[in-house]
Structure 1
């Protein structure tokens, strides 16, 4: 036996002959000549070391060796068909895996996109990493993920960013605050308030500091807190007021109010970011296409930005 001489094509020819029951019909299905089919069968028989088929009364029959080979062929070719389907699924983004990393505040947004995507493509596995801006920047530098979400994208040449959602900032206070019902408050009215702040380096903190600087205002009292949840709880408990992303506010919260200012805080945008030199997984690319098609179905249309086209054309 010279089984190392077996090739995929020889096995494919043999299966076609057996399934069709005719050399001429197998030749037609494979777009080959009948002499070529006969030659391939001869080579296959020599490799196995046994006759594989015989003709009796004009009909084709398998020998014992032929039956064993046919069984093995069906198993091997079936596995190749499964592999082909898997590869096609990967290339079309219907299966596979990708990783997405996002700053803390974006966790209020991503599930609204990732949930419908996971229902549409249940065979795609997604890893989600959440942390503060410094932690996500470190992951970006190490190229640990396929997609990143920042409100302020890294100012790096190899960062390709696209806006997809406005990120308005609002000033919140406890519902019983003396200024809760006031209209068009001047910024100076907040001068003596105690502010609950995110850590330095967070996008919200950077925007807030810039807003204060633009209006020449300096905080008198502040408390630094590590998360939006802690800030929301602190404000509701009367610890102070805060600037926070509007997307981080739960609907219908009776313990918090948005203060009405004559000069509201600046707003930013949420961005999808990929690295130019990073080969984006098919499934990650499919996710971005899905988001581009369905943004307004799953996010508030008032804030949606359709700026993904350039990014999608570049990955």
Structure 2
């Protein structure tokens, strides 16, 4: 085993990943006989076969699985060392490669901004994708950390909860259920539920929540949280979304959180990484920041308890109706502008726009101005 080379480990990893000598040869720009020879030398060093062959197909042996696990760790460590050396050559800058699910774009830039404050030696590489896409990026070593709600049940993936992320049912303020108390689930089962697309954290939570009941609402799928909120405001149905994702619209009086039995659904934000590799220094620091400070900072930013608890379930009086009538056109305009700003051509949020919008403090300013109008109307 001492004589196995890094080149052989890379060849073995490619063959094991592709389960094909010919595809590995293409990936590495080698001939197939050269690949086969290197694998044969590794098996001679190991003293055990690493692959079995049945017809044209190959599979890893038990020894091959052990070799693959250690090979991935060794190669990941080498890549991390290469990145660290390159950072030193570039003047000591560290790169933080982190991904988050689209529903996290409402708050995550504030956490990133707090972490990066005063850290001029850290360069951020932030990716916003669906849950399934982030898991694929983690496994292919394109990101170091991911922030999501539903981590895969996989021993190769480590997930650590750092902050609550409750899910709520929302409707338009004019919906018949908007001001009812303690609504039984059976009432919801007759509604049209507007949901996110498959592969997202929000859809996964919806599937697990409503799939446990004999009767389920009729699902209407829309692949964008902003479009879902606009559809609910238009009276097309109710929706199941993260309470953090609807905080602006709830405070502006455009959406109403329904008081349904069993809700809000308690879930948590998790920071996720691969178990088989060492995290770079910047990723280690950010993970620790989330675990120690993420909860308090997120609560301070979202004020989430005010969104889904202590809700005013009584119908609004004339003053409140007048206030909402004044605030609604401006708030709808702001939501529409934010929708256009957050979406790229492929329908996913643009992380650059997300960061600039959230750092501008648009949500908080909208809430403050609405509160000022209410005070003026009252007096």
Structure 1 position 113 matched with structure 2 position 111: yes
Aligned to 1:197: 195
Q: Which residue matches 2:168?
A: 170
Which residue pairs with 1:245 in the alignment?
242
CA distance in 2, matches of 1:291, 1:265: 23
Residue 303 of structure 1 and its aligned partner are, at CA, apart by 7.9
Normalization by structure 1: what TM-score?
Answer: 0.63
Give the structure 1 partner of residue 270 of structure 2.
Answer: 271
Partner of residue 179, structure 1: 177
Q: Secondary structure at the match of 1:300?
A: helix
Native 8 Å contact 1:195 1:240 kept in 2: yes
1:21-66 deviation line (CA, Å, top 9, x unaligned) = xxxxxxxxxxxxxxxxxxxxxxxxxxxxxxxxxxxxxxxxxxxxxx
Q: Which has the higher helix share?
A: 2
| Matches of 2:232 and 2:185, distance apart in 1 | 18
In structure 2, C-alpha distance between the alignment counterparts of 1:207 and 1:256, rounded to whole Å: 20
How far the C-alpha of 1:297 sits from its partner, in A, is: 4.5
Tell me, yes or no, if the aligned pair for 1:105 and 1:228 is still in contact at 8 Å. Answer: yes
Equivalents in 2 of 1:288, 1:247: separation in Å?
Answer: 21
Q: Give the drift of 1:203.
A: 2.4
2:157 counterpart residue number: 159
C-alpha change, 1:292 and 1:183, in structure 2 (3 Å) is same
2:94 to 72, 83, 96: 96
**Normalising by structure 2, what TM-score?**
0.52
User: What is the CA-CA distance between 1:109 and the residue it aligns to?
Assistant: 2.9
Q: Select the structure that is richer in strand.
A: 1
Paired residues in the alignment total 215
Unaligned 5+ segments in structure 1 are: 1-82, 305-315
8 Å CA contact 1:166–1:303 kept in 2: the answer is no
Q: How many angstroms does 1:247 deviate by?
A: 1.1
Counterpart of 1:228 (choices 225, 228, 234) is 225
Please give the per-residue CA displacement for 1:76-113, whole angstroms capped at 9, x wherever unaligned: xxxxxxx9x958x95xxxx4112101111122232121
Partner of 1:294: 293
Q: Which has the higher contact order (CA 8 A, sep 6+)?
A: 1
Structure 2 residues not aligned, in runs of 5+: 1-84, 306-379
CA distance in 2, matches of 1:191, 1:128: 38
Partner of 2:254: 255
- 4+ aligned runs moved over 4 Å, structure 1: 301-304
Alpha-carbon distance in 1 for matches of 2:155, 2:244 = 29
**1:112 partner SS:** helix
The equivalent residue for 2:359 is: none
Q: Structure 2: how far apart are the matches of 1:168 and 1:212?
A: 15
Alpha-carbon distance in 1 for matches of 2:213, 2:220: 21
The separation in 2 between residues aligned to 1:195 and 1:303, in whole angstroms, is 23
Equivalent in the alignment of 1:132: 130
Query: What is the DSSP-based 3-state SS (H/G/I as helix, E as strand, rest coil) of the residue aligned with 1:255?
Result: coil
The Cα of 1:255 is off from its aligned counterpart by 0.9
User: Using the alignment, how far apart are the partners of 1:106 and 1:263 within structure 2?
Assistant: 23
Deviation digits for residues 112-141 of structure 1, max 9, x if unmatched? 210111223133111111111221122122
